[in-house]
Amino acid sequence: MPISKQVSEFMSRASWIRRMFEEGIELQAKHGRDNVYDFTLGNPDLEPPAAFIDRLRQLTTNPSPGMHRYMPNAGYPWVRDKVAEALSQDSGIAVRGRDVIMTVGAACALNITLKALLDPGDDVLVFAPYFVEYIFYTSNHGGTPRIVPTDDQFLPDLDALEQAISQKTKALIINSPNNPTGAVYPREVLEKVGALLERAAKRVGHPIYLLSDEPYRKISYDQEVVSPLAIYRDCVLCTSHSKDLGLPGERIGAAAVHPEAADRELLVQAMTFAIRTLGFVNAPALMQHAVAELQDVTVDIDHYRRNRDLMYQGLVAAGYDCVLPGGAFYMFPKAPIADDVEFVRRLQQERILAVPGTGFGTPGHFRLAYCVDQSVIERALPGLAQVRAGC
């Protein structure tokens, strides 16, 4: 085989979302784009806010000398200060610019953190349902992903978490608001997770880092999104502006290490080294300039709220068992038959594209990404109801 066995296996496991997306393209070619209802990709349908367009216009028409040259690998110091200021206001923790690394999206933030932390064989705990890339990121850097279940509301199962921690445990990844469920972890849940990790770290004799993946942080509806920085000291926050500013293709994000984290200075140095050696080099210069002044700006969150309410009400009326998402733009209903892959195939017959829960480590469910025009949801609901009635 010309490619590695590990990559070959990963490619097979990672194919669900793209596979459904590509089949959707075939359906669109056959039936027309308006007659196919694609809920596969979490690709924001909202354009960036006017403030971003204005800022970009300023930068491109009046560039400062050297604006597009290399900068420190961790990013422009003044941009890091701006991000730190926003994180401090949000968390109540005095984050400093030197605690922040500007990154090529949240994926880069996670990868450089894992690269900096993991030795071969270290365990990284991941709650299921999970964003499938967590498994690959962990394995790419020599770690072993260990899957921990959640409860029927997709919140952490604390007993299972405690049982999963061993001498090999180096980190826990959380994602709130969550992809694929939309779950938001309440403060009391985060506090219990933090207390559990503190006790476990004392027991195993080394820090257990909490990696908080937060690209959906500002897309929340009915619940407070609590910063884990305010809860747990050995925390690394990984975020991006892909969703809150509608910039997934621009790949701009940040990693922030709690100012009191164990070995904070060494960890930041290691992450900065990793951003260079993994090939990211630095976050995009133009985007750093653009987002620095837009830390309090977001797309229209009410658009996603309206879509959530419309889809949730339609699914419940059709008889689906579904947890109301508190944030992000995903819904994760139970499939009405045991075989979620087969159920998704039945939806395809109504030209509705979804992703089976198997792809997120939780068979028996399916994911719908409702970051689409409202009319797509309205036209898809009758088909969703018809397939449910036929089960």
Q: Alpha-carbon distance 320 to 316, whole Å?
A: 5
Q: Alpha-carbon distance 346 to 45, whole Å?
A: 26
Cα–Cα distances in angstroms (integers) from residue 92 to residues 218, 233, 380, in the given order: 16, 13, 43
DSSP string, 221-269: SSS----GGGT-SSEEEEEESTTTSS-GGG--EEEEE-TTSTTHHHHHH
Span between the terminal Cα atoms of the chain, in Å: 42
Of 292, 311, 334, which one is at a domain's C-terminal end? 292
Q: What is the pLDDT of residue 33?
A: 72
Give the H/E segment covering residue 286. helix 285-292
The domain total for the chain is: 2
Token output for 14 = 């990672």
Q: What is the pLDDT of residue 225?
A: 96
Where residue 15 falls among pLDDT bands split at 50, 70, 90? low
Q: Is the pLDDT of residue 207 over 70?
A: yes
- Give bridge partners of residue 128 from the DSSP assignment: 149
Bridging pattern class, strands 366-369 and 355-356 = antiparallel
Same domain for 136 and 34? no
Q: Alpha-carbon distance 135 to 236, whole Å?
A: 18
Tokens 């992903």 appear where?
145
Q: Is the pLDDT of residue 171 over 90?
A: yes
Same domain for 181 and 312? no
Same domain for 238 and 96? yes
Nearest residue to 261 (alpha-carbon basis) of 188, 195, 203, 208: 208
Same domain for 304 and 214? no
Which range, of 32-46, 123-137, 190-204, 227-241, averages the lowest pLDDT?
32-46
Q: Alpha-carbon distance 285 to 70, whole Å?
A: 8
Same domain for 335 and 212? no
Where residue 364 falls among pLDDT bands split at 50, 70, 90? very high
Same domain for 243 and 96? yes
Where residue 75 falls among pLDDT bands split at 50, 70, 90? very high
Q: Is the pLDDT of residue 12 over 70?
A: no
Same domain for 10 and 114? no
Q: What is the pLDDT of residue 16?
A: 62
26: exposed, middle or buried (Cβ count in 10 Å: 0-12, 13-18, 19+):
exposed
- Give bridge partners of residue 239 from the DSSP assignment: 254
Task: Return the number of other C-beta atoms located less than 10 Å from residue 250's C-beta.
Answer: 22
Q: What is the pLDDT of residue 189?
A: 98
Where residue 209 falls among pLDDT bands split at 50, 70, 90? very high
Q: What is the CATH number of the domain that holds 110?
A: 3.40.640.10
Mean pLDDT of 318-341: 97
Of 239, 273, 292, which one is at a domain's C-terminal end? 292
Same domain for 195 and 321? no
Find out whether the peptide bond into 177 is cis, omega within 30 degrees of 0: yes
Same domain for 119 and 142? yes
Same domain for 142 and 255? yes
Of 252, 275, 292, which one is at a domain's C-terminal end? 292
Angle between helices 133-140 and 5-13 (to 10 degrees): 170
Same domain for 165 and 266? yes
Q: Alpha-carbon distance 125 to 171, whole Å?
A: 6
Residue-range definition of the domain harbouring residue 11: 5-48+299-389
**Could you tell me the strand order of the sheet in which 330-331 lies?**
330-331, 366-369, 355-356
Could you give the 3-state DSSP secondary structure of residue 310? helix
DSSP structure class, residue 46:
S
Q: Is the pLDDT of residue 379 over 90?
A: yes
Phi, psi of 389 (to 5 degrees): -65, -25
Same domain for 44 and 55? no
